[in-house]
Structure 1
Amino acid sequence: MLQNPASKYRSFPPVDLVDRQWPNRRISQPPIWMSTDLRDGNQSLFEPMNLERKMRMFRMLCDIGFKEIEVAFPSASQTDFDFVRRLIDGKHIPADVSIEVLTQAREHLIRRTMESLRGARRAIVHVYNATSKPFRDFVFGMTRSEVVDMAVGAVKLIRQLAAEQPETEWVLEYSPETFTATELDFALDVCNAVTAAWDATPGNKVILNLPTTVELATPNVYADQIEWMHRHLERRDSVILSLHPHNDRGTAVAAAELALMAGGDRVEGCLFGNGERTGNVDIVTLALNLYTQGVAPGLDFSDINAVARTFEHCTQLPIHPRHPYVGDLVFTAFSGSHQDAIKKGFAAKQADVVWDVPYLPIDPADVGRNYDSVIRVNSQSGKGGIAYLLESEYGVVMPRRLQVEFSGVVQRHTETHGGEVSAADIWQLFATTYLDTRAPLHYREHRLFEHGQAQGIRITVDIDGVPHVLSGEGNGPIDAAVHALHTVGIDVQVRSYEERSMSASREAGNALACAFIELTPSEGGGECYGAGVDANIVTASIKALLSGVNRMQSALRDDHRQEAA
């Protein structure tokens, strides 16, 4: 049992701000967004991103609309230094995007950092030193004045080195690390000294980043601290007040929202809250929270599935199925009463009327999602539901998003036929939906061949009953098959791929493989799953690809018929 913590842990009271204004304000415009996925987020991964994943993440962040991206800690490793150089030398940075790099307030690290940025069009140099009393007393053994001198000396050196590279537009960012545990009067002294050393002006602003390096108090305390600094900072018109909340208490989003009301101009965070310990503030949640309040966030999350899949690929981290806005189950209701209320809300919804569907704070269509209710099948039998029945009786372990998709098929069947649905009924529905051998695009056979570093494939298929031999090359059998389909005008992208053994339902030695592929049209559109079953995993994968294409084309034909009607 936990003991009384009162004598062990300090409680942080609100700041002495009797006329605080932030509780009466609302957020009416988005902040300046800065992604630190490639730096703060990357350094906290089990396995940091390789070059391919870093480049993919950087391109996605640019596509989403970030104009400021912290890309590396170049003085910390050769890998980070080289990545900065690759971005600059390879001209990968869009004209309207500024890269940011981090450095400690030490001379040799600052010099190495400035060298990494040589030739950049515009660069933000983010320098920091810890300012709180425990760090001054226990870590550094420094007085207040020595901490100020350390920060000012770093800024003066950056200013000197920046003058030696006039081809670059330089922006200074300074963070008093452990700001929320620092005495406010001292945090103010350090920040004012930095602003003066940089000679900040309205045309040459300094970014003062005030982080909850470790979240120590309730969000209202952070808001009070930000409002106090906002009111007392010198040259406030020459300062961009930046927020960097961490999530140690699980309230980083709330802290960021209240701090924006308190005077913050800018937010640093990671897409889905990745970062050290419990993570940085979740920018997707924060941005879409603004969206649901009628504020355009300035970031494009209209295809949230694509963002999520890219994030998972780059970080090798799963997104929780209940993660706000993006989790695989957030638009799925298991409760019958929830399903009923949502359906009635959709039925009553009118175009150009304020969104007011029960249980759904956002229209799923706005983020490229839809609403799929999940039915519990034959629950009295103790079997559990659709996924459980297919797994226990047939050895088919469906990916979570396919479970959601297939549940809609089962629901339509039960609504039409009524009564209970057996495991055999569900398997028949699954086979008819995903394994139909009568579909327009039908697999016959394939041959693999090597072509240099590439994998080649020849697939024999029937297209509307007519045999065709298709050839393609790629970085593997699936990629090669996608290129082969392209030769007959079928253009798709693979969003995700999984394979499973069906041995749970079969004797050893006779196991089948089941492959699942999630596709989307190359020109954009909704996702669609395909499935394939075969003793050979490559054959199962190709069948899954053709299954997905058949289902996608069927859905497009249905859409065209509805439009014509």
Structure 2
Amino acid sequence: MPKYTRFPKVDLPDRRWPDNEIIAPPIWCSVDLRDGNQALANPMGVAQKLRYFQLLVDLGFKEIEVGFPAASEIEFEFVRTLIDRQLIPDDVSIQVLTQAREHLIKRTFESFRGARNVILHLYNSTSTLQRKITFDMSREEIKGIAVRGAQIVRDQIATVPETTVRLQYSPESFSDTELDFAKEVCDAVAEVWQPTVQNPVIFNLPATVEWATPNVHADQIEWMSRNLNNREAIILSVHTHNDRGTGVAATELALMAGAQRVEGTLFGNGERTGNLDIVTVALNMFSQGIDPGLDFSDIPSVRAQYEDLTGMEVHPRHPYGGDLVFTAFSGSHQDAIKKGMDRRADIQDPTAAWEVPYLLIDPRDIGRTYEAIIRINSQSGKGGVAYVMSREFGFDLPKTMHPEFGRMVNQATDRLGREATKQEIFDIFKQSYLELTVPLELIRLRSLTDEMGDHTITCTVKVAYDGQIIEITGRGNGPIDAFVHAMSERGWNGFSIIDFKEQAVGSGAGTEAAAYVQIQARDGGRFWGVGVDTDISIAGLKGVVSAYNRSRLA
């Protein structure tokens, strides 16, 4: 017999969920302060929990599981602190967890006395493994625990007349409980609690362990949704874990299968591989045009608070929140992103459809920026380098210049053995184009005149050639043409200008001009040069010098 066996399929030949769509957000319930907290190497204290609770309220959660108050004094004290300090908004329900044991249930009711809105979350394990290994009990015995717990809860409600108590039951380890038995237990609990459409019960069906593929979980949820008694008086909730790495997918398919409520944590913190990541599910909905009802417009702040309070770190590749999720190293990706971003910049309507290759959403919508979208290493391409030069430093390199400068940066990152910072990229640009003074250096433009009155320009400049300072003069149909003729008369020729572009860099009184000059040498080699100056004519001459020097150094 094999050590591992395939998880059985659900007999649901007429399953409907594959044709359904998620069109509205579910009810969200954060379990960060219980499931998330118990999974920390160093659980949060009361002060940290209070800050975390406020974070969850600020994000828009209306249901927050605040703990297992009968499990420890810290848990009990935290619940009391929230109530005694009146820190719970009127529209927020706190959720308290308890096993189906009499003394734990009574202690739980003591913990929330005086609260306005409470969800009492009762649970007991129902799976075959739990019955066989943990409890050594029959199905009837396990159902009896649930029913007896439900009866105690029902009777205790009278002890807190000032509190609106909503009831929730979880057949723990639902994911490997026989469906007919999960239904039997839930129906038995409902028989005790007598839910109505106006006062529904929450049946939370946890994938305590993720045993199967997400489609099997969806089948389980649809089967329960279609077979539970008095379905209209039930809010069906899911609580997935991530043992197989598909907790998000399982939740999304469960919503298609009839789930109305989702329990999870920020960034998926929880036991083993974690709970469901609510951030990802909510922003996945956002990316499809659905308002999730939670405010993740400042993900960097949420992440910073989460990391500070839990001691956990969000992985660099974590969806939406990771450092690198809006970053591209691949050259082809960078080029496509640059084109999309440039096109977006020309669109004045901020509500226009988002169309940028490789970016699922606009980073600005969740408080991220464009600054780190493209980072440069040896795998990067010309588009990414050009993007950095344009967005960070204002140099719109001509497209035919992209490959030349891209190669320079790639070679530099190969030598570095790491990615290049934006400043390092600009330093390469300056060293390669703006600071070349060998063999030719432009010292000063002496004069630029139209002496003949026929638009023929006479250009006189002071230069240094191989360290020797001289003055040269030439005539042509413009400053650059005249300067090239002056160089030719000195024998510094052997090239022709094949492309020229100029642009303004910056704005206001200090605006500089950048001139991009491409030359072709006699041997066919092509070289770009760049000149920058407040005077566009001088910038052009500097561009010629830059290109000439690059051709001589090749």
Decide: shared fold, TM above 0.5.
yes
Distance 1:262 1:420, change over 3 A: farther
User: What is aligned with 1:237?
Assistant: 232
Q: 1:379 aligns with which of 401, 409, 413?
A: 413
Bigger shift: 373-382 or 117-126? Answer: 373-382
- Per-residue deviation, 1:558: 9.6
Q: Distance in 2 between matches of 1:381 and 1:275?
A: 42
Q: Distance in 2 between matches of 1:380 and 1:313?
A: 36
Q: Distance in 2 between matches of 1:363 and 1:141?
A: 54
User: What is aligned with 1:159?
Assistant: 154
Q: Distance in 1 between matches of 2:314 and 2:302?
A: 11
Q: Distance in 1 between matches of 2:140 and 2:433?
A: 78
Please give the secondary structure, in 2, of the residue aligned with 1:128.
strand
Please give the secondary structure, in 2, of the residue aligned with 1:7.
coil
Q: Distance in 2 between matches of 1:98 and 1:137?
A: 36
* Alignment check: 8 A CA contact 1:253 1:282 kept: yes
**Aligned residue type for 1:206:** V
Q: Does 1:361 align with 2:356?
A: no
Distance 1:370 1:183, change over 3 A: same
Equivalent residues in 2 for 1:197-236, closer than 5 Å: 197-236=192-231
User: What is aligned with 1:274?
Assistant: 269
* Alignment check: 8 A CA contact 1:75 1:112 kept: yes
Please give the secondary structure, in 1, of the residue aligned with 2:414.
helix
**Aligned residue type for 1:381:** R
Which deviations, in whole Å up to 9, do the C-alpha atoms of 1:138-193 show, x marking residues without a partner?
22122211111110111111111111211100011100011111111110000011
Q: Distance in 2 between matches of 1:130 and 1:10?
A: 22
Distance 1:384 1:102, change over 3 A: same
Q: Distance in 2 between matches of 1:248 and 1:420?
A: 55
Equivalent residues in 2 for 1:84-233, closer than 5 Å: 84-233=79-228
Q: Distance in 1 between matches of 2:104 and 2:294?
A: 33
Please give the secondary structure, in 1, of the residue aligned with 2:268.
coil
Q: Distance in 2 between matches of 1:26 and 1:366?
A: 24
* Alignment check: 8 A CA contact 1:14 1:220 kept: no
**Aligned residue type for 1:144:** R
- Per-residue deviation, 1:410: 4.3
Please give the secondary structure, in 1, of the residue aligned with 2:86.
coil
User: What is aligned with 2:245?
Assistant: 250
Q: Distance in 1 between matches of 2:93 and 2:134?
A: 33
Distance 1:365 1:136, change over 3 A: same
Which deviations, in whole Å up to 9, do the C-alpha atoms of 1:450-481 show, x marking residues without a partner?
xxxxxxxxxxxxxxxxxxxxxxxxxxxxxxxx
Q: Distance in 2 between matches of 1:246 and 1:381?
A: 44
**Aligned residue type for 1:26:** E
Which deviations, in whole Å up to 9, do the C-alpha atoms of 1:292-311 show, x marking residues without a partner?
11111000000000000000
Please give the secondary structure, in 2, of the residue aligned with 1:370.
coil
Q: Does 1:31 align with 2:26?
A: yes
Bigger shift: 248-257 or 158-167? Answer: 158-167
User: What is aligned with 2:301?
Assistant: 306
CA-atom RMSD, angstroms? 2.1
Distance 1:184 1:558, change over 3 A: farther
Q: Distance in 2 between matches of 1:248 and 1:84?
A: 30
Distance 1:558 1:315, change over 3 A: farther
Distance 1:13 1:356, change over 3 A: farther
Distance 1:330 1:229, change over 3 A: same
- Per-residue deviation, 1:418: 4.7
Which deviations, in whole Å up to 9, do the C-alpha atoms of 1:114-153 show, x marking residues without a partner?
1101001011111111111222222212221111111011
Q: Distance in 1 between matches of 2:223 and 2:41?
A: 38
Distance 1:131 1:383, change over 3 A: closer
Distance 1:358 1:418, change over 3 A: farther
* Alignment check: 8 A CA contact 1:305 1:368 kept: yes
Distance 1:356 1:14, change over 3 A: farther
**Aligned residue type for 2:102:** E
- Per-residue deviation, 1:337: 2.0
Q: Distance in 1 between matches of 2:166 and 2:120?
A: 6
**Aligned residue type for 1:51:** V
Q: Distance in 2 between matches of 1:558 and 1:95?
A: 52
Q: Distance in 1 between matches of 2:250 and 2:427?
A: 47
Q: Distance in 2 between matches of 1:134 and 1:283?
A: 28
- Per-residue deviation, 1:419: 6.0
Which deviations, in whole Å up to 9, do the C-alpha atoms of 1:374-406 show, x marking residues without a partner?
1235123244234xxxxxxxxxxxxxxxxxxxx
Distance 1:339 1:124, change over 3 A: same
Q: 2:17 aligns with which of 22, 38, 46?
A: 22
- Per-residue deviation, 1:285: 0.4
* Alignment check: 8 A CA contact 1:215 1:246 kept: yes
Q: Distance in 1 between matches of 2:433 and 2:289?
A: 44
**Aligned residue type for 2:375:** V
Q: Distance in 1 between matches of 2:368 and 2:132?
A: 52
Distance 1:8 1:298, change over 3 A: same
* Alignment check: 8 A CA contact 1:53 1:313 kept: no
**Aligned residue type for 1:189:** E
Q: Does 1:48 align with 2:82?
A: no
Distance 1:305 1:420, change over 3 A: farther
Q: Distance in 1 between matches of 2:31 and 2:124?
A: 18
Distance 1:27 1:219, change over 3 A: same
Q: Distance in 2 between matches of 1:280 and 1:414?
A: 46
- Per-residue deviation, 1:235: 1.0
> Which of structure 1's runs of 4+ aligned residues deviate more than 3 A?
407-421
Q: Distance in 2 between matches of 1:360 and 1:339?
A: 11
**Aligned residue type for 2:362:** D
* Alignment check: 8 A CA contact 1:175 1:210 kept: yes
Q: Distance in 1 between matches of 2:136 and 2:253?
A: 34
**Aligned residue type for 1:369:** R
Distance 1:558 1:172, change over 3 A: farther
* Alignment check: 8 A CA contact 1:184 1:225 kept: yes
**Aligned residue type for 1:251:** T
Q: TM-score, normalised by structure 1?
A: 0.69
Please give the secondary structure, in 2, of the residue aligned with 1:100.
strand
User: What is aligned with 2:538?
Assistant: none
Please give the secondary structure, in 2, of the residue aligned with 1:287.
helix
Equivalent residues in 2 for 1:325-474, closer than 5 Å: 325-349=320-344, 350=347, 351=349, 352-371=351-370, 372=372, 373-376=374-377, 378-386=412-420, 407-411=421-425, 414=428, 418=432
Q: Distance in 1 between matches of 2:137 and 2:414?
A: 68
Count of aligned pairs: 401
**Aligned residue type for 1:247:** N
